Amino acid sequence: MKMRKISVIIFWLSISLLGQTFAQNIEKAQPLHWWVGMRNSNLQIMLYGKNIGKSEVKINYKGVKIKKVQPVENPNYLFVDLEIGAGTVAGKMPISLSQNGSIQTFEYELKARQGQKSQMKSFDPSDIVYLIMPDRFANGDPNNDNIEGMLEKANRSNPHGRHGGDLQGIIQNLDYFQKIGVTALWLNPILENDMKAYSYHGYAATDLYQVDRRFGGNQVYQELIDKAHAKGIKIIMDMVANHIGLENFLVKDIPMKDWLNQFPTFTKSNFRGETVSDPYASEQDKMLMANGWFDTNMPDLNGKNPFVANYLVQNNIWWIEESGIDGIRMDTYPYPDKNFMSLWAKAILDEYPNYNITGEAWLMNVPAVSYWQRNQKNADGFQAHLPSMIDFPLYRAMSQAFKEPYGWETGLARLYVTLSQDFAYPNAINNLIFLDNHDVTRFFTDANQNMSAYKMGTAFLLTTRGIPQWYYGTEVLMTGEGADHPSLRVDFAGGWAGDKVNVFKNENLRPAQQEALAYFSKLANWRKTQKAIHKGKLTHFVPNDNMYVYFRHTETESVMVILYSGYKDTELDTQRFAERLKGFKTAKNVITDEKLGNLDKIKVPAYSALVLELEK
């Protein structure tokens, strides 16, 4: 993610070491609670409260052992390392803190695990992931637009401001997702961003255990997850390990100086993700990539600090275990220390071996992206443990392929050339593929607002290898330029009371929008049952004459896709595809339901995509 700058300067907060009496309550204990029976029996609780650092800690709870109590530079923190033995019974565990004869006790809850949640099926190539920016999708509850005491108020006329969209708005439209055929929702971050400005996008968290109350808070998030699950829709949580918001208490009252990567004056990252895998990178460049700040209002977390690493890993596990989310999208993957990211992903997968995590490594070449995928055999020995890559190289190919004249390496040939590099990925089919997202030019703009290009792009996205991700509103031809964030994140029509166009009710849509919506949902709903698309192999043929032909196939099923960028109707002689057509006699055109009685010659209209379900 990239964002606009605001001029706020972080001050290194001096830590008061003056003696103060121990009378204050513990303000925070994080994680908020934990579970018995986790695969990893270790837990590090961070306690926060005025001068609690020198306290003596006692726990008397069967099965639980204190391994270590660690005060740190800031006396307002205390880290308590526990081992929760096998067989420990769920319950409220009393923790006593004593200092100078004064004792206070509080209860920390150890819950029983909800087995079903931890056994869930994560997202995979059978899904279509629909990306939503929650502030900009639908305002289901206007009462939460402004919350007393929170810094930024709603202002729908400010393109950089909060517009009032929320989780209730997503809950109210679960039927819409079902109807158009998407099966998973990725929401841009929903954790509290109590920042002075630009807080709508969610990438500057101020409390990692609190869903922003302007989105509805933790309870409504849970309601969304449960109601989505009841309709067979998965929820993917967007997480950030690289940075937090300037207003986070961990910045304002920092536990220790190296909780953050700090510099004498504000120092930006060089944003060169290549440096992490580049065999020739200088130490200076690697340091700036990892330690430089993403932005002035986003302090850079130091994952090399084991307290920070524990804090983030446990927070992410907490959300999985607590809420039953079905997967994670991790932001800015190459920006933190790479060994920390490796440790992070491994810790999640050790706890949830079948979990899927997709990571944003915004790099435009295949080797640099594949460096991060699980089981990659990197020359430097690095192992990132990340199951799914957000596929920027294929995105780049798609952003050109459907509008550009065909050539040896241009137009549709870009798709072929890019996919031919898949040997570099350990698991290319698990990549998250997309035509657009919240950070890049919307696809219909990229496609020069050409309906045929829109259809070709949609057909390709939903039939090639990978997990398709669709950005809200592209189905009704929303437009927007990448360099201008607000234009990519316009309110979804119909999400606000009084909107003149209502996509949810198909009201007042222009004919072209109706056509685009119908095209997407026809293919998306068809895709739900297509094993050949979910797990079949991809076989493609060298493109020529403006045409790119490929097949997705299992032992028994096969889908043939023809993408054609010529401006004249043509007839395709299928002889050279015999190895994949053998045994199939007829086909169904998935979009028109038309039957093709003869596969020897196939009529292909000018500038079109054909998706054919082959029949024996």
Please identify which residue in 73, 81, 83, 145 interacts with Ca ion, judged by CB under 5 A. Answer: 145
Helices (H), 239-337: 249-252, 283-291, 306-323
In angstroms, what CA-CA distances link 427 with 90, 224, 391, 422, 555? 39, 31, 12, 8, 20
d(CA 392, CA 530): 25
212 binds Ca ion (CB under 5 A): no
**591 phi and psi angles, rounded to 5 deg:** -80, -45
* Structural contact between residues 385 and 342, judged by C-beta atoms closer than 8 angstroms: yes
Dihedral sign for Cα atoms in the order 317, 319, 322, 326: negative
Minimum distance from residue 220 beta carbon to Ca ion (Å): 10
Minimum distance from residue 164 beta carbon to Ca ion (Å): 4
139 binds Ca ion (CB under 5 A): yes
Minimum distance from residue 142 beta carbon to Ca ion (Å): 5
Helical (H) or strand (E) element with 527: helix 511-527
By CB under 5 A, which span of 44-52, 66-74, 139-147, 404-412 interacts with Ca ion?
Answer: 139-147
193 binds Ca ion (CB under 5 A): no
By CB under 5 A, which span of 19-27, 142-150, 327-335, 551-559 interacts with Ca ion?
Answer: 142-150
Q: Which is nearer to Ca ion, 152 or 422 (CB)?
A: 152
By CB under 5 A, which span of 157-165, 522-530, 560-568, 594-602 interacts with Ca ion?
Answer: 157-165
Q: Which is nearer to Ca ion, 141 or 326 (CB)?
A: 141
By CB under 5 A, which span of 133-141, 408-416, 443-451, 570-578 interacts with Ca ion?
Answer: 133-141
Closest CA to 195 of 149, 245, 239, 145: 245
Q: Which is nearer to Ca ion, 49 or 164 (CB)?
A: 164
Q: Which is nearer to Ca ion, 144 or 474 (CB)?
A: 144
Torsion from C-alpha of 303, 355, 439, 334, nearest 10 degrees: 30
Both tokens of 103, joined, read: 């004792």
Minimum distance from residue 144 beta carbon to Ca ion (Å): 5
Minimum distance from residue 499 beta carbon to Ca ion (Å): 14
571-610: which residues touch Ca ion (CB under 5 A)?
none
494 binds Ca ion (CB under 5 A): no
By CB under 5 A, which span of 36-44, 63-71, 163-171, 558-566 interacts with Ca ion?
Answer: 163-171
Euclidean distance between the first and final Cα of the chain, in Å? 47
Closest CA to 514 of 560, 476, 568: 476
Within 10 angstroms of residue 584's Cβ, the number of other Cβ atoms is 17
Minimum distance from residue 612 beta carbon to Ca ion (Å): 45
495 binds Ca ion (CB under 5 A): no
Q: Which is nearer to Ca ion, 119 or 143 (CB)?
A: 143
**What burial class does residue 381 get, using C-beta atoms within 10 Å of its C-beta: 0-12 exposed, 13-18 middle, 19+ buried?**
exposed
* Structural contact between residues 48 and 33, judged by C-beta atoms closer than 8 angstroms: no
Closest CA to 176 of 496, 506, 477: 506
Please identify which residue in 49, 53, 75, 164 interacts with Ca ion, judged by CB under 5 A. Answer: 164
| Residue from 238, 295, 326, 360 carrying the catalytic annotation | 360
152 binds Ca ion (CB under 5 A): no
199 binds Ca ion (CB under 5 A): no
Q: Which is nearer to Ca ion, 51 or 139 (CB)?
A: 139
Minimum distance from residue 217 beta carbon to Ca ion (Å): 12
Please identify which residue in 124, 127, 135, 166 interacts with Ca ion, judged by CB under 5 A. Answer: 166
Rg (CA), the chain: 26
Both tokens of 267, joined, read: 């120092």
360 given a catalytic annotation: yes
Q: Which residues bind Ca ion (CB under 5 A)?
A: 139, 141, 144-145, 164, 166
Residues designated as active site: 331, 360
